[in-house]
Amino acid sequence: MSTPTKKSGLPYPVVLIIGVILMMGGYFISQKTHEFQEKLANQGIPLDFGLTIAVVGVLMILFPVLNSFYFKPLADAINERTHALESTFGEAETLRSEMTKMKSDYEQRLAATEAEARSQIQAQIREAQNLRQTLMAEASSKADEMVKRAQQEIEAEKQKVLGQLRREVVNLTITASERILGENMDSDKNRRLVTEFIDTVEVPR
């Protein structure tokens, strides 16, 4: 550690000599003015100039030492603590700013995610609606096709039954005619005539 000095900038040896001179001089003055001090004390003024000068000298000797070994380290410690607190406050402020920014970014990402999810849900709803319409159209088309095919099958079966009935009627007619006339009436010509006659009297469908 460097040699302690006063704030005035004087070297410590000079300050030390001045302090010793003031201390010894004050002690000497205090001893030589003892009667004068008693008179002042009797008048209610307990003042010892020599002792005061000696105390000043002692302070001049001790203050640089105290300043170097106590006050300066204490001030350095206080300054270091102050800088540490300022650094901590600065870091806390920086952290608060970062947290605020992170919160803002999170809220923005959350809003974007919600918007994207909402958009996807709406797209899926539209896709489901389109699929429903497509399935309904396909089902309606298949139903129409099945109905048409059923109608065609019914018509074909109807024509088949009508053909069978026509042949039965022709056979019955020819058989009845043979019994009435007593001769064979089963020929292609007679069948064609009976068939044409049935077609003319058939009830329209």
Which of 97, 121, 143 lies at the terminal end of a domain, its last residue?
A: 97
Q: How far is CA 190 from CA 4, 7, 94, 164, 169, in A?
A: 157, 156, 117, 18, 13
Read off the pLDDT band of 125 (50, 70, 90). very high
Pair 91, 166 in one domain: no
Which of 76, 97, 118 lies at the terminal end of a domain, its last residue?
A: 97
Is residue 186 within 8 Å of residue 172, measured between CB atoms? no
Q: Quick check: 120 pLDDT over 50?
A: yes
Is residue 34 within 8 Å of residue 10, measured between CB atoms? no
Instruction: Determine the residue type at 83.
Output: H
Segments forming the whole domain that contains residue 191: 156-201
Instruction: Determine the residue type at 175.
Output: T
- Both tokens of 158, joined, read 């109807």
Inside any domain, residue 35: yes
Gap between the Cα atoms of 47 and 197, Å rounded? 169
Inside any domain, residue 118: no
Gap between the Cα atoms of 114 and 103, Å rounded? 16
Task: Provide the number of structural domains found in the chain.
Answer: 2
For residues 42-50, average pLDDT: 66
Gap between the Cα atoms of 148 and 154, Å rounded? 10
Highest mean pLDDT among 7-11, 71-75, 116-120: 116-120
Q: Which residues contact 173 (CB under 8 A, 6 or more apart)?
A: 194, 198
Which of 66, 97, 128 lies at the terminal end of a domain, its last residue?
A: 97
Among 11-15, 87-91, 112-116, 157-161, which is the least confidently predicted range?
Answer: 11-15
Read off the pLDDT band of 179 (50, 70, 90). low
Inside any domain, residue 131: no
Inside any domain, residue 125: no
Inside any domain, residue 141: no
Model confidence pLDDT, tens digit, residues 15-41: 778 878 877 777 777 777 766 667 666
Phi, psi of 183 (to 5 degrees): -140, 165
